[in-house]
Amino acid sequence: MFFKRLGIDLGTANSLVYLAGEGVVLNEPTVVAVSIEDNRVVAVGNEAKEMLGRTPGNIVASRPLRDGVIADYVVTEAMLRYFIDQVCGKSRLFKPDVMICVPSGCTQVERRAVMDATMAAGARNVYLIEEPLAAAIGAKIPIAQASGNMIVDIGGGSTEAAVISLGGVVVHNSARVAGNKLDEAITVWIKKKFNLIIGERMAEEVKIQIGSALPQATTSSNKVSSIKKLEVRGRDSILGLPRMIEITSDEVSAALQNALGSIISAIKGVLENTPPELASDIIDKGIVLSGGTALLRNLDKLIINATGVPVHVAEDPLLCVVRGTGVALENIDLYKRSIAKR
């Protein structure tokens, strides 16, 4: 084939690109830095993420996707063009075929915006696949069989829970609560308790380093040795001066409970609407977790406690969606019922 085929997981926090025949070739943060004066894109991905919260007045670094859908069309188009150029080269004779994942709950308008932005960025054909379906394919779940499989994809902007059978989504529910909302919860809680204002990147670091879905007391017999601590730096909201504090994993766990409650509600919403035959399959097989936020410590235990259903974290949860998109693109005839095309 003269033209390349790309699978893109356009996430709120990270964007990944899969090149047919080669695998995942690009993994960069979904951040774009734009010059205010001439609306020119200054940096994309890792370079732009370094600028978050540190830009001068004439440059704005922002995330063009909010809650899994496009919030800034022009910037998203520029970012997609950058990703396609990175993988296919700027001087190309043939436009690539591109498959992009979209959240199950997104509207027709939001789907059209993704398709239009991808076409404008230089795609020949655009295919859309629903995120839970892509995640299930990437997690190596046999979705074509006549039995129920439940996947919960918890990314940066949205949580997608779905029951899949015979290659299609039977029941799905989405919550616009995921990794970014957990970061916000940490930021708000630290400001409330310590009068300390911290940045987006610091909050994310706290979540990754010591974040836990359950207090350590409930998950470990040796409580003293298991509690982790981290130094957090920011600006004092009263004095306006730089300050440093130390917080524990149990304090972070307390800060996350409200946001995690919304994720649990989305999962329960799917289980409540699942047909009894498929529900019995799910009890046997359990729920599969994918997405970057699935790596949060003890999240699987929290879901088991809330639902009573076994939970397994997929292998490489961050890559499940993009791998599934790539597999669907390489075997497009097998999955054509589940794919929209333009």
pLDDT tens across the length of the chain (342 residues): 567 899 999 888 899 999 988 889 999 999 999 888 888 888 888 898 888 888 888 888 888 888 778 888 888 888 999 898 888 887 777 889 999 988 887 888 988 989 999 999 888 899 999 999 999 999 999 988 889 999 999 988 889 999 999 888 899 998 889 999 999 999 999 999 999 999 988 999 999 999 999 987 666 555 555 678 999 999 999 999 999 999 999 999 999 999 999 999 999 999 999 999 999 999 999 999 999 999 999 999 999 999 999 999 999 999 999 999 999 988 888 877 778 787
Distance CA 247, CA 265 (A): 28
Neighbouring residues of 20: CB distance < 8 A, sequence distance ≥ 6: 4, 5, 6, 7, 326, 329, 330
Domain regions of the chain by residue span: 5-134+320-341, 142-177+261-317, 179-256
pTM of the model: 0.89
| Burial bucket for residue 222 (CB in 10 Å: 0-12, 13-18, 19+) | exposed
Distance CA 123, CA 118 (A): 6
Res 222: pLDDT: 54
Residue 222 C-beta-side C-alpha neighbours within 13 Å: 3
Could you list the residues known to form a binding site, using ranges.
12-14, 156-158, 204-207
* All residues at 6 or more sequence positions from 164 whose CB lies less than 8 Å from its CB, including other chains: 132, 133, 136, 141, 143, 148, 149, 150, 151, 170
Domain 5-134+320-341 sits in CATH 3.30.420.40 = yes
CB of 268 closer than 8 Å to CB of 306: yes
Correct CATH for 142-177+261-317 of 3.30.70.2740, 3.30.420.40, 3.40.50.300, 3.40.1260.10: 3.30.420.40
328: closest CA among 80, 92, 98, 25?
98
pLDDT of residue 226: 62
Residue 181 φ/ψ, nearest 5 degrees: -70, -30
One fold for both 142-177+261-317 and 179-256? no
Query: Do residues 195 and 237 touch, judged by C-beta distance below 8 A?
Result: yes
Looking at CATH, the fold of the domain delimited by 179-256 is given as Actin; Chain A, domain 4 (3.90.640)
Torsional class of 261: left (φ above 0), alpha (ψ -120 to 50), beta (otherwise): alpha
Question: What's the rounded Cα separation, in Å, for the pair 148 and 167?
Answer: 10
The answer to whether 96 and 125 are in contact (CB under 8 A) is no
Pick out the residues of the known binding site for ATP. 12-14, 156-158, 204-207
